[in-house]
Amino acid sequence: MGLFKTVISAIAGLSALAGVNAASLQQVSSFGSNPSGARMYIYVPDKVASNPAIVVAIHYCTGTASAYYNGTPYARLADQHGFIVIYPESPTTAAAGTNAIANMVTYTLGQYNGDKSRVFVTGTSSGAMMTNVLAGTYPDMFAAASVYAGVPAGCFYTGTVAGWNNTCSSGQSIHTQAEWASTALAMYAGYPASSPRPKMQIYHGDADTVLYPQNWQETVKQWTGVFGYSTNAVTTETGLFGGAWTRYTYGPKVQGILGAGVSHNLPIQGDEDMKWFGIVGGSTTTSTSSTTLVTSTKTTSTSTTTSKPPATTTTAAAGGQTRWGQCAGIGWTGPTSCQSPYTCTYFNDWYSQCL
């Protein structure tokens, strides 16, 4: 027995020296209006900042808050930097409702004296879809977003809570920059044009066969259109994150990052997220929101989103690709000529469009 106690004491001492955390994922049962029935989970590190930033991390389709907590680096990064992570969980296979997530944020800001100018959102797959929708619906709440393998806001509309939009997922929802921007802007139609909007960082793999890589290009169109940027990148950086990734910067608030040979199961670049959010040093800064903290009353939405996308571009006829359709790019096997009077216009190595 004495030896047993000695061993236990030694283990306890080593644990203390190693700084083992007591913090864990916790459910919050009451956080405000929640008509979608979403569940709120939160991670508050042992050493939380006095005025902490908040990161909303949204799980993929069929995922859970616990799976995203365990499978992504955000809790570990929260331990390092003192921010709080909200992990919404959907009661369906789709992502949780935007209204519920907004109220999770409002609850956390009030409960932990959070910094309302440093609220960020990120997600994977259906969580990325929801991230795009939140950026359109609550531009006054979020300072920056990172989107992993998603689709443009409004693209996945089905009219049901958990429907699947094959046209969108297969990359056939192809529209102009202006059309996609209008879809995002319509999600908060009364929001002043001069007011801050979240910076958008868009990740995708060019070998994604679940949400085809064309969705990366369409999402880039959407947010460059919202900010008034060209779809031609200002700078291009190759060989990133082990060599497979290329970063296209379109302006200070939009980056598109494409992984060569990367599937739908793409890695989370947590350290890059910290730079993009401004939680650690970097060249980017976050915008400041002056929004008063109130309980959200906006209409609940899921990743299917009640905001319909533009009408789908028609398929190419025998004479060539239709206007706005893709006509060239690495891996492209469709039409390479355009119907008159349109010409195949280069955007990047993976995408050219009939304009």
Which residues are part of the catalytic machinery?
125
Could you tell me if 155 and 168 are in contact, meaning their C-beta atoms sit under 8 angstroms apart? yes
Cα–Cα distance, 352 to 355 (Å, whole number): 9
How far is Cα 200 from Cα 144, in angstroms, rounded to an integer?
6
Distant-in-sequence, close-in-space partners of 151: CB < 8 Å, separation ≥ 6: 128, 129, 132, 168, 169, 173, 211, 215, 218, 219
Measured distance CA(177)–CA(310) in Å, rounded: 11
262 phi, psi to nearest 5 deg = -95, 135
Q: Whole-angstrom Cα distance, residue 160 to residue 278?
A: 36
The H-or-E segment that residue 235 falls in is strand 235-240
Distance CA 168, CA 93 (A): 17
Note the residue count of the chain: 355
